Structure 1
Amino acid sequence: MEIHIKLPANEKVIQPSIDFVYRWSIECGLSEEEAAEFATAFDELITDIVLFAYPERGEFSITLKDFLSRLEIIVYELGEPFDPERHRYSAKKALSEGDFEGAGFEVIKKLSDNFIFLYKGREGKEFRIVKNIKHPHITHIYSEKELKKEPKKAVSYQISPVTENDAEDIAKLIYRSYGYTYPKEDMYYPDRIIKALKEGKKFGVIVRTDRREAVGYFAVIISTDSNIGEVGEVVVSPDHRGKGIMKMMMKALIDMVKAKGLLGLFGEAVTVHTISQKVNAKYGFKSTALIVGFFPFAKYKGFKHGQQRISVVIDFLPLVERKEVSLYIPQKYKNLIKEIYKNLGITVRNIPVKKIHLKEKSFFKVNINYQFETAVIVIFSYGKDFEDRIRNKLMSFEKKGLKGVYIDLPLDKPFTKKAVQILRKYGFFFAGVMPLFHKERDFLRMQKIYQHIDFKYINTFSDMAQKLKKFVKRDAKEVGVL
């Protein structure tokens, strides 16, 4: 959930804003002490902005983000230029000279779990304060012996919708099946699972044996910016694989999704093995993209694979019929994109570009996943500043040490044909099509990676996924990545 607030740079807004952040923090899961620390850090930041950033009237904006594992406050302002690196706090100067310059930022760092400053030139300054929510890990609730105990073989299995009461069993099931290697860390924290279910961020099914022991779990995560869902969390207990549990869960999930009126489902099927891809294919999912190095390296029990970042195949299941779409398809990728759509049962009409009218500024959204060390940029509209802003973003990402950057380009905008040429100059290569992924619109994904990926460890199942693998590898070589 996100809350957006725009405020005047006036001293009268400071205390009400601090009070709101304190109450919001408690509501989102912080203790009273942690909420007080977070609110104090916020107090230091906006007081500095109100008192020193604007010599005259001005305004600043605040975004509050509530994640399962952390809270973030992002403050944007267009006040006077300021470089915190030139105003570092010195305890020695404070004691000997009474010089407390930079002390406010030092307080913010001590009271938060992460404090990030970004100077964006003409776009102003961005401050990001992060506070982690301390939930108990499943290994703090149960002993290692209890967690590793495998349910006995079953005579029969029962499937039911997931409820908040299933959270601990799901976390135990994840740990038993993956150890510490499951890429979605929130699944080891029962409280975070409960929170996601309460807030309607996901729904799913759980499979139990005739002894009521949990052996299967499968959930759909609802997209935050489009009416689609991701079959994004799935696990079957090791000794109960090969019993048809995955298929049972998939069928039940698809029925639930249709009842909720979603337009489509997608899966990020890891390429360490082809099991998930095979299940997806059985239920009508079609491969549309190969995302290289999307997740950090994780060891999957029972599978031999190279020690490199994990790639995923995007499999998509349309739940509404679309017979034809009109898109601006880049010439270099025209044939493959048309084939991807044909595989989805959709005919593509490639719109010729006559004239392009660009606004001054591009409009896009950036999502940085610090856990996965990746960034996804979604372009909604193009401006004359497109190349400059992408170049600046890449410089910023490299400083942060990100391992992969992925850019979604709208296929209903004519400048996408030109944007592909620009991005290839910066080492981006083809990933595939992301159908209905943002605002119910189709996007072309381009990707750039900063670590070597050996394609021989990327396993694909469907004919289309195999074509994508060959094409993506060739395109990566052409831009000098491999």
Structure 2
Amino acid sequence: MQPAQNNNPITLTLPCDGRYLGALALFVEQAVLARGFSDQDAKSAGLVVEETAANAVQHAYAPDEAGTFTVVLSFSSAALTISVKDMGLPITEAELLGHGRQSQEHLGMLLVENSMDEVHLLNNGKDGKEVRMVKYVTGGHIEQIPEQAQADIQPQTVQNLEIRQLREGEEIKLSRLLYNSYGYSYHNTNLYFPERIAAMHRRGELLPFVAAATDGQLLGHTALMDLRRDSTSAEMGAAAVDCRCRGQGISEKILDKIYATAPSLGLTGLYVEAVTSHTSSQKAAQKGGLRECALFMGLALSSDFRRIKTSVKERETLLLLFKYLRLPSAVRLFAPEKHKAMLAKLFQNIGVTAAFETPGIDAPAKKYEATILDAEYLEQDRCAAITVRRPAPDCHEQVKQLLRRLCLRKAESILLYLDLEDPRTPALSEALELEGAFFAGILPGRTFRNTLVLQYLNNLVLDYSAVNLHSPLASELMAYIRELDPNQR
């Protein structure tokens, strides 16, 4: 597959009538082919649209109900995204994909899953439902690129480093640096594909900062990631230093460059998710002025850090460390009563005094007609996140249903983001904790100015003794979380 030259999406709306499916498949195949994709990719696109649209024709509407469905083809240099939307009967992802079933229609959806890199069902409330499928650009994995271009690193290059953003054409060097640091275990597999790095960089989804030697070799890297339009905080991730150059302050120099650049991007805070299989990344983050504010138990699959001694375990617990680029004044929050003491400690740790208010007395809650939730699922790590954007009276039930769907998709660790400035949050948090969710910490600037993070483990019993933490507060936070983890009882 080659990147598309024309990125304008194609939208087609048709009646829910099976007689149109053959023509639709041919149209999609030709449209994808016209955008520069391969014959095989075009045929696969036509097939998956036909199968997904057939599902909508058969099940979206009652037999006596007239309805339509819409197909949207979106093109980028990194991927082809296909959406099939309808306003018909809501279903769960398990019902759509038919996991564990062998009927003809579910075999068709199994074919769709096997043909695409990602398949997601999005229930969009009043806007109906959407099956979104993604096929990434093929070819170009770092494993398939010869090593000849990678020269030996000379020791003197460490003395004359240039700290800057990644330049066009350096993506292959970055992929190799990450491979040499992580093997194939880094959870964001897009970073092993130079073409995908370039595409994400162009779209502003990834902002890589590197330490470059005088001969052009990349000796260190950290990227601004998870850059969201609705957030004023961003993650610093994919940190790597050439194993022959560690211990020489390269990471700290890159962090200084990021701190100087981030305010111009509208960011007020930065955070890292440090692994706990060893404490090296925690120490580096603390040296950079970041402080502990959350602990995500078993959130990711374990990483293979080359030449760093780690405790081996199936899933990796991540310690979240945060730094304000501009300190706010005292924050006024609506928090669950039992968590107020720990929340006050965490906010104080990142330099802010928390003032807690009482729902219904200090501020009335806005009334929303419908709950709005966002859900993200990271298949390679079998983890997910739910953001409660607008909690209506049915919010608790909506989150319960979404948790069930994510568990059916075999998500093992799920984060829940709640607005600490919403008067409904204390009651909602308490209700979700009765369902098995438990405290994780805070993340300022992630969707909300002040975000409470809960976590849910899908029958996952973790060995807390295998978690390595550097600071006393992090250890205190883990002990607090362990007492609340229902899987430890």
Q: TM-score w.r.t. structure 2 length?
A: 0.82
Q: 1:94 is matched with which residue?
A: none
Q: How much has 1:182 moved relative to structure 2?
A: 2.4
| Structure 1 SS opposite 2:274 | strand
1:393, 1:219 → 2: CA distance? 31
Q: How much has 1:106 moved relative to structure 2?
A: 7.3
Q: How much has 1:333 moved relative to structure 2?
A: 0.5
Q: 1:373 is matched with which residue?
A: 382
Picking from 424, 428, 439, the partner of 1:430 is 439
2:332, 2:11 → 1: CA distance? 37
Alignment of 1:385-404 (within 5 A): 385-404=394-413
Picking from 300, 303, 306, the partner of 2:305 is 300
Q: Tell me which moved more, 48-57 or 243-252.
A: 48-57
Q: Give yes or no for the alignment of 1:382 onto 2:382.
A: no
Q: How much has 1:289 moved relative to structure 2?
A: 0.6
Alignment of 1:281-360 (within 5 A): 281-301=286-306, 302-354=308-360, 359-360=368-369
| Structure 2 SS opposite 1:175 | helix
Q: 1:238 is matched with which residue?
A: 243
Q: 2:3 is matched with which residue?
A: none
Q: How much has 1:453 moved relative to structure 2?
A: 1.7
Q: Tell me which moved more, 58-67 or 279-288.
A: 58-67
1:50, 1:69 → 2: CA distance? 30
Q: Give yes or no for the alignment of 1:164 onto 2:168.
A: yes
2:439, 2:133 → 1: CA distance? 34
1:366, 1:315 → 2: CA distance? 23
CA contact (8 A) 1:373 1:404 kept: yes
Picking from 443, 466, 469, the partner of 2:451 is 443
Q: How much has 1:268 moved relative to structure 2?
A: 0.9
1:52, 1:369 → 2: CA distance? 28
CA contact (8 A) 1:328 1:411 kept: yes
Picking from 150, 153, 156, the partner of 2:155 is 153
CA contact (8 A) 1:7 1:13 kept: no
CA contact (8 A) 1:360 1:385 kept: no
Q: How much has 1:234 moved relative to structure 2?
A: 1.1
Q: How much has 1:221 moved relative to structure 2?
A: 1.6
| Structure 2 SS opposite 1:320 | coil
| Structure 1 SS opposite 2:216 | coil
2:110, 2:436 → 1: CA distance? 38
Over the matched positions of the two proteins, sequence identity in percent amounts to: 23
Q: 1:95 is matched with which residue?
A: none
Query: Considering only aligned residues, what root-mean-square deviation do their CA atoms show, in Å?
Result: 3.8
Alignment of 1:208-223 (within 5 A): 208-223=212-227
Q: Give yes or no for the alignment of 1:254 onto 2:262.
A: no
1:321, 1:3 → 2: CA distance? 41
What residue identity is the alignment partner of 1:451?
L
| Structure 1 SS opposite 2:351 | coil
**Pair 165,475 (structure 1): closer, same or farther in 2 beyond 3 Å:** same
Q: How much has 1:124 moved relative to structure 2?
A: 6.7
CA contact (8 A) 2:302 2:314 kept: yes
CA deviation vs aligned residue, 1:45-90 (integer Å, no higher than 9, x gap): 336636874444445566777798654434343435886769932x
CA contact (8 A) 2:259 2:325 kept: no
| Structure 1 SS opposite 2:305 | coil
Q: How much has 1:471 moved relative to structure 2?
A: 1.4
Q: How much has 1:292 moved relative to structure 2?
A: 0.9
CA contact (8 A) 1:427 1:481 kept: no
Q: 2:468 is matched with which residue?
A: 459
**Pair 26,462 (structure 1): closer, same or farther in 2 beyond 3 Å:** farther
What residue identity is the alignment partner of 1:157?
N
1:411, 1:469 → 2: CA distance? 21
**Pair 130,241 (structure 1): closer, same or farther in 2 beyond 3 Å:** same
CA contact (8 A) 1:22 1:38 kept: no
| Structure 2 SS opposite 1:154 | helix
Q: Give yes or no for the alignment of 1:134 onto 2:138.
A: yes
CA deviation vs aligned residue, 1:411-435 (integer Å, no higher than 9, x gap): 1222211112212222211100010
CA contact (8 A) 2:372 2:389 kept: yes
Q: Give yes or no for the alignment of 1:202 onto 2:218.
A: no
Q: How much has 1:126 moved relative to structure 2?
A: 4.9
1:336, 1:22 → 2: CA distance? 58
CA contact (8 A) 1:164 1:193 kept: no
1:353, 1:202 → 2: CA distance? 39
Q: Give yes or no for the alignment of 1:88 onto 2:103.
A: yes
What residue identity is the alignment partner of 2:311?
H
Q: How much has 1:189 moved relative to structure 2?
A: 1.2
Q: How much has 1:34 moved relative to structure 2?
A: 0.9
Picking from 265, 273, 276, the partner of 2:278 is 273
What residue identity is the alignment partner of 1:220?
L
What residue identity is the alignment partner of 1:331?
E
CA deviation vs aligned residue, 1:172-197 (integer Å, no higher than 9, x gap): 11122222222322221111111111
1:3, 1:292 → 2: CA distance? 39
**Pair 20,421 (structure 1): closer, same or farther in 2 beyond 3 Å:** same
Q: Gaps (5+ residues) in structure 1? A: 90-100
| Structure 2 SS opposite 1:165 | coil
**Pair 329,21 (structure 1): closer, same or farther in 2 beyond 3 Å:** farther
